[in-house]
Amino acid sequence: MKKSYLDYILRNRLPVTIFVVLASFALTYFASRAERDGVGYTPDQPINYSHKLHAGKMKIDCQYCHVGVEKSRHAMVPPTATCMNCHTVARKDKPEIIKLTEYYNEGKALEWKRIHKVPDYAYFSHSVHVNKGIDCVACHGEITQAEKVGQVQSFTMNSCLNCHRSAHDRLPDLKNINKGPDYCWACHR
């Protein structure tokens, strides 16, 4: 029997096309996953601030700046005035500090690029997590080693639930935590 053009399409062309489409889809899906979840996002900030220097080397407590973290939903990015507590005297000659002082003196808004974000309809609370004894590092990574802050964990609902459902395994140091809530209104309302 003579091979028809149709046979050629069915046997060769079609499977190859389907394979290519599926493969490229799968490849893109997995390859871009971190990027879609925001993992690795490390934007340039208006002031080149180093957590490694301040929190790591100088061991300034996180809550010196992020004052809301134990009290409120929001950890709070510190007001410029907090920086000026030291920098009215310290390192006044450095270009970044000169920039900072300018912001402060002119009362200008300092627009830090946002790195971590959960959607508007998720009401994440820092205070609950911190007061349960969960370390900042658990979600934000080794911040004391970070010259420039980027996102290290995925902040999707899936990642929240992964930890909530097996908190005991993930945070073995915390003896009195078994499991975080996993009902809807724990986060959404």
Partner 1 sequence: MAEDLNGLNNTYPNPPAGEAGYWQSFEELYNDPQFLQSHQDEFKEGVSENFDSSGMSSISRRKFLALLGASAALAGTACSDYRDKGEIIPYNKKPEEITLGKANYYASTCTACPNACGILIKTREGRPIKIDGNPDHPVSKGKICAQGQASIMSLYDPDRLKNPKKKLDRRFVDYNWKSANDEIVFDLMNSGGKEIAIIAHKIVSPTAKKVLDDFASKYPSTKIYSYEQFDNPIRNSAWKKCYGSEEFPAIKWNEAEIILSLDGDFLGESNNKIENARLFSEGRDVMNKKFNRLYVVEGNLTITGMAADYRMRLRPDEHLNFILSLINELNKKGSGIPINMGGYTLENISKQFSLNIETLNALVSDLLKNKGKSIVYAGDHLPEDVHIAVNLLNDILGNKALYNFESAPVSVLPLSASTELNNLVSRMHAGEVAVAIHLNSNPVYHLPIDLAYEKALSKVDTVISLVEVENETSDLSNFVLPINNQLESWGDAKTRTGFYSLQQPVIAPLYDTRQTEAILLSWISGDSSTYDESIYHKYLMSNWEQNIYPVLISKLNFKQFWFNSLHDGIVYSQDKSESVSPFNLASASAIKPAEVSNNFSLHIKESYAVRDGRFANNGWLQELPHPVSKVVWDNYAAISPKTANDFGLRSNDLVEISTGNNSLQIPVFIQPGASDNSITIETGYGRKNGGTVGTGVGFNANTLINSAAILSPWLYSDVKVKKVAGQYKIVTAQTVYAFNEGLTKDLPAKRGIIKEGTVNEYLKNADFLHNEKHELKSVNPFYDYKGVKWGMSVDMNRCLGCGECVVACNVENNIPVVGKDQVDNGREMHWIRIDRYYSGTPEEPNVNNQVMVCQHCDHAPCENVCPVVATTHSPDGLNQMVYNRCVGTRYCSNNCPYKVRRFNYFNFRDHFKNGFQESPVFALLMNPEVTVRSRGVMEKCTFCIQRISDARAEATKDKRDLKGSDVRTACQDACTTNAIQFGDINNEEEEFHTYRNHELGYFLLEELNIRPNVTYIAKLKNTDSETAC
Minimal distance, residue 135 CB to partner 1, in Å? 16
Residues 116-145 contacting partner 1, CB under 8 A: 116-117, 120-121, 123, 125, 127-128, 131-132
Task: Provide the angle, in degrees to the nearest 10, between the axes of the packed helices 95-106 and 80-87.
Answer: 130
Part in contact with partner 1 (CB under 8 A); list of ranges 7-15, 86-94, 99-107, 159-167: 99-107
Count CA within 13 A, CB hemisphere, residue 21. 6
Token pair belonging to 63: 């809550």
Query: For partner 1, which is the closer residue by CB, 7 or 182?
Result: 182
Q: For 20, phi and psi rounded to 5 degrees? A: -60, -45
Q: Are 38 and 141 in contact (CB under 8 A)?
A: no
List the x/- string, 23-52, binding to partner 1 by CB under 8 A: ------------x--x--x-x---------
Q: Is 70 in the site for partner 1 (CB under 8 A)?
A: yes
Q: How far apart are the first and last CA of the chain?
A: 68
Tokens found for residue 55: 């929190």
CA–CA distance, 161 with 123 (Å, rounded to integer): 14
- Footprint of partner 1 (CB under 8 A): 35, 38, 41, 43, 67-68, 70-74, 76-81, 103-104, 107-117, 120-121, 123, 125, 127-128, 131-132, 181, 183-186, 188-189
